[in-house]
Structure formats: C-alpha cells, structure tokens
Amino acid sequence: MNKLYIVVPCYNEEEVLPETASRLRKKVQALIAGGKISDKSGIVFVNDGSSDKTWDIITRLHGESELFSGINLSRNRGHQNALLAGLMTARDRCDVCISMDADLQDDIDAVDGMLDEYLGGCDIVYGVRAKRERDSFFKRFTAEGYYKLLKRLGCDVVFNHADYRLMSARALDALSEYGEQNLFLRGVVPMLGFRTATVTYERGERFAGESKYPLRKMLSFAADGVASLSLRPLRLITFAGIVLLFLTAALLIFSIVSLFMGYNILNWKIILISVWGVGGLLLTALGVVGEYVGRAYMEAKHRPRYNIGEIIGL
C-alpha cells in the first residue's frame, strides 16, 4: 500500500487553515478507507515563517490527530523554498507526495485522479486548470501571456499549471539533485523526465484571508522563472545590438549621401531621439545582464535555501 503525504506550504494562513485541515482530513481518511493509500499516510503543513498563529494551529492539529505533521522554517523563505522544504523532508518517508496550496482554491477531489494516474505508472501528475473564467481579465491575460512567453523563450512548462502536482519518491530524489538558489519548480519539474500525466480541475475562490501573492511578488516570481530557465533574453540583447548597428550604418550612409546631394542632414530632434533610444537600449541591456550576473553571484555563495527550526510528527 502506498504511503502518501500531502505537503501544504503556509504563510499567515490562520484564517483558512482549520477549514483546510478539516477538508484534507476527510479526503485522506476516505482514500485510506477506499484502500488507495496506506493508513500511515498524512498531511504535512510547512510554516514559512508566519507572523500570525499559523504554527500554533499546526501544533494544535498535530496534538488532535497524528494525521497532521508540521515543519516550521526558521524564517520566511518564500513559497517555493517552503514547498521544497516539505517535499525534501517527506521524500524519504513516503512513496508519493502531493503538493497544494493552503487557500483551498485547488480542487481536493483531483487527488483521486492523480493517484489513479500514479497507480497507472506515472511518476509526476500535474494538476492543470481547465479554465480561468473566475479570474479578472488582467490576471487571466497576464498569467496566460506569461506561460506563452516562457514557451517562446524555450522553457518547458505545463500550461495553466501552478504547484498542484503529484510526485513519486524517485521523482523527488531526482528533484533533490537540482541545487539552484533561484528555484522555479514549475520549470524544474518538467526537466526531470519520467512518465507524466495531467489532471484537469476547476479552481475555486479563496475560502478566507487574502492572497499572499500581490503584484510585486508575482512580478518577482515571474522574473525568477525567466532568469532561471532561459538564456534567450541575453541573446535577444545581442540581436538587438546587431540590428541597431545596421540601422546606425544605414543612417550614416543616408546622411552622407544626402549631404553630397545638397540636402540638409537629420535635424537635432531626430538625433536627440536616436541618442535617447540607444541610451535606453543600453540601460535595458545592462539591467538584464546585471540580473543574470547577480543571480550567478547568489548561486556561487551556495547558501542554504531554507533552515528548519522544528518538526512535529513525521
């Protein structure tokens, strides 16, 4: 019988956590009763340095039932590192892991389909949103545009998939070999290979509390995805520089020919615009190069991605 752990990263989730725990408990108990998973299976909450009572609630849940376990990070390290901490802690203790967010927007019933695919021989099963009708136009447009951008940049990502996924123990072992600091699991997991499948589901509204991913964090997360998976932005800078050189040469030839034919050469306004354009391009290029250099510098330090302060259960 396969031992399942459901790993749930949490950051300031005191409003939603009791309901999340209740629904997950019912799901795991139903799976155990149906003979799909071992009675040693459980739910692992990872507290990502919350400033509210999230860890107190996790501790209380563990006291009420051994079904619940908890990992308390020493400080806030971000969603991806908190999720990784849970997966890496659970990988030697279970046969299969399912990761999901604490906000109850992921359809818990999709777990059944994921387990069916796993029992059918898949090591990785992606939870994929069937549609985004409940999202605002801005969020839907930017999210889907971002997935398409990653594809164009050569990144192997699953369209409309976040971090709701199943991974077998051997897939987790393979994931542990990836040691980069700027972690983007949505792009790294497809690199692992293995047999995969997808399960579609309808994403619901957040049960309580507020989103922990405001626009600023979403932009930072998006930048992590591009910079950690693709070198094409650097190549685009090179291409833009070559195009600019050709345009400059063409403009120079045109100016010389115009001068010999007795025409006035380009006036100061056009020259000023050209200087501003080149200057903007150079500053943008320096910014992109600096972003990659900065990330390489952080990777070279080999700092730990997270530190675990306390573990209960497991």
Residue 216 confidence (pLDDT) above 70 = no
The CATH number of 4-229+303-312 is which of 3.30.300.30, 1.20.200.10, 3.90.550.10, 3.40.50.300? 3.90.550.10
Q: Report the pLDDT averaged over residues 72-86.
A: 91
Residue 206 confidence (pLDDT) above 70 = no
Residue 223 confidence (pLDDT) above 80 = no
Q: Report the percentage of the chain scoring pLDDT > 90.
A: 39
Do 105 and 206 touch, CB atoms closer than 8 A? yes
Range with the poorest average pLDDT among 46-55, 86-95, 258-267: 258-267
Q: What is the pLDDT of residues 259-305, one digit of tens each?
A: 677 666 556 556 666 776 677 677 777 777 777 777 676 666 677 77
Q: What pLDDT sits at residue 218?
A: 61
Rounded to two decimals, the pTM is: 0.74
Residue 212 confidence (pLDDT) above 70 = no
Q: What pLDDT sits at residue 281?
A: 73
Residue 276 CA to chain centroid, in angstroms? Answer: 36
The structural domains of the chain, with segments of one domain joined by +, span: 4-229+303-312
The pLDDT-based confidence of 143 (bands split at 50, 70, 90) is low
Range with the poorest average pLDDT among 54-58, 188-192, 206-210: 206-210
**125 Rama class: left (phi>0) / alpha (psi -120 to 50) / beta:** beta
In sequence order, what DSSP letters do the residues of 153-171 get, joined into one string? TT----TTEEEEEEEEHHH
Do 47 and 54 touch, CB atoms closer than 8 A? yes
Residue 137 confidence (pLDDT) above 80 = no
Q: What pLDDT sits at residue 225?
A: 60
Q: What does residue 43 show for φ and ψ, rounded to 5 degrees?
A: -125, 130
- Per the listing, tokens 């971090």 go with 163
5 vs 150, residue with greater confidence: 5
Q: What pLDDT sits at residue 286?
A: 77
- Per the listing, tokens 């998939």 go with 161
Do 5 and 53 touch, CB atoms closer than 8 A? no
Q: Report the pLDDT averaged over residues 9-14.
A: 92
Q: If you ran DSSP here, which 8-state letter would residue 7 be given?
A: E
Give the DSSP H or E segment for 41.
none
Residue 243 confidence (pLDDT) above 70 = yes
The pLDDT-based confidence of 86 (bands split at 50, 70, 90) is very high
In sequence order, what DSSP letters do the residues of 177-192 get, joined into one string? T---SS--HHHHGGGG
Tell me what the pLDDT averaged over the chain comes to: 81
Do 126 and 161 touch, CB atoms closer than 8 A? yes
**Length reported for the chain:** 314
